[in-house]
């Protein structure tokens, strides 16, 4: 049975409001800063991962639906690509939407990946659990990386805002 108990929180910093950020093997590389977002309907790949995997525009197929970026702006995708995501011995194939937009994360995995794996994620416990080979396997979140992404995002937002002295004409 897939479930979570207080024992699953033992190695986490509590209380917290951290995102669930994990490391997953995408293509042939271990990718850090992967956000698990069970509320998202598509897997999203950002430019860093696209370049890191040495993908080319001809590797992408058309995807015309606009998405909303972390900055709240409507962004048109560059296309989509089907890639393998590996978790220990389990491999799932998913379609990633390639976005040339800012994100503190390398990629976002969402409901399609979770459903294909048969997984359940829980931010409070900082884990993803899924059935495999007759047992329950776990993917552990990295709270330090989640906090690093949050700090990077906040500092980026602050650096892009006009300073108070400029607003007041000083």
- Which class would CATH give 11-167? mainly beta
CA distance 138 to 121: 10
Q: Token pair for residue 81? A: 């690509």
Q: Going by DSSP bridges, is the β-strand pair 29-36/67-68 parallel, antiparallel, or unpaired?
A: unpaired
pLDDT band at 67 (very low <50, low <70, confident <90, very high): confident
pLDDT of residue 162: 66
Per-residue pLDDT reduced to its tens digit, 87-110: 988 999 999 999 888 889 999 999
pTM score:
0.86
CA distance 114 to 95: 13
Q: What residues does each domain of the chain span?
A: 11-167
Q: Is the pLDDT of residue 122 over 70?
A: yes
Decide which of 135 and 163 is more confident: 135
């Amino acid at each position: 049975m897939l479930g979570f108990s207080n024992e699953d929180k033992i190695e986490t910093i509590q209380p917290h409001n951290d995102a669930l950020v994990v490391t997953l093997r995408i293509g042939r590389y271990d990718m850090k800063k992967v956000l698990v977002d069970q509320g998202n309907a598509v897997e999203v790949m950002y430019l860093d991962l696209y370049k890191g995997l040495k993908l080319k525009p001809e590797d992408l197929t058309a995807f015309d639906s606009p998405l909303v970026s972390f900055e709240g702006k409507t962004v048109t995708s560059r296309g989509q690509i089907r890639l393998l995501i590996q978790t220990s011995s389990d491999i799932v194939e998913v379609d990633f939407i390639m976005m040339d937009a800012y994100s503190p994360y390398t990629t976002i995995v969402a409901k399609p990946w979770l459903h294909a794996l048969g997984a359940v994620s829980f931010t409070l416990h900082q884990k993803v659990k899924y059935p495999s080979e007759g047992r329950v396997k776990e993917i552990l979140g990295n709270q330090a990386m989640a906090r690093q992404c949050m700090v990077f995002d906040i500092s980026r937002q602050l650096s892009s805002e006009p300073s108070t002295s400029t607003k007041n004409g000083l």
